[in-house]
């Protein structure tokens, strides 16, 4: 009968098992972080899109003549929810369709009948500024 049995777990087996478990836990943690980051990014972009859609719908509900008073806004304005800042800002540009660069040479387009409305919503994501831009055309009735 042998005095030393080869049954049981050695220190090397335990060390290799711990290394493998650590690698899998690290992999799973990094996947969870990537999913969370991507989900947050998609949620912020969807919220910015909703702000832009709401702004365009409110502009469509206005009188066509009042759109001329908006004109071009070169600076972003903060979007608030009541008195609370949302972290988003908007820039609205209203341009007469005849004044668009692609229509400058087309003299058949009459001025004052169609406006192109562009709403740009910006927000910070990490170290960068992301923007969502929506455009529509509003006609005089």
Per-residue pLDDT tens over the stretch 10-45: 889 899 999 999 999 999 999 999 999 999 999 999
Per-residue pLDDT tens over the stretch 114-127: 888 999 999 999 89
Per-residue pLDDT tens over the stretch 53-98: 999 999 999 888 887 777 666 688 888 888 888 999 999 988 887 7
The confidence score (pLDDT) of residue 71 equals 62
Domain range annotation of the chain? 11-139
The answer to whether 117 touches 90, Cβ cutoff 8 Å, is: no
Question: What is the CB neighbour count within 10 angstroms for residue 124?
Answer: 12
Q: Which long-range contacts (C-beta less than 8 Å, at least 24 apart) are formed by 4-7?
A: none
What is the arithmetic mean of pLDDT over 99-112?
A: 74
The confidence score (pLDDT) of residue 134 equals 96
CA distance 80 to 119: 16
């Amino acid at each position: 009968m042998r005095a030393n049995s080869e049954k049981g777990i050695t220190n090397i087996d335990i060390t290799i098992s711990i290394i493998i478990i650590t690698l899998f836990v690290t992999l799973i943690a990094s996947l969870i972080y990537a999913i969370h980051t991507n989900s947050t990014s998609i949620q912020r972009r969807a919220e910015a899109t909703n702000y832009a859609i709401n702004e365009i719908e409110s502009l469509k509900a206005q009188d066509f003549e009042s759109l001329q008073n908006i004109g071009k806004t070169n600076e972003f304005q903060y979007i608030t929810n009541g008195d609370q800042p949302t972290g988003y800002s908007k820039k609205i540009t209203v341009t007469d369709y005849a004044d668009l660069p692609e229509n400058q040479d087309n003299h058949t387009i009459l001025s004052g009948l169609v406006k192109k409305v562009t709403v740009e919503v910006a927000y910070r994501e990490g170290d960068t500024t992301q923007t969502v831009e929506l455009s529509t055309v509003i006609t005089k009735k």
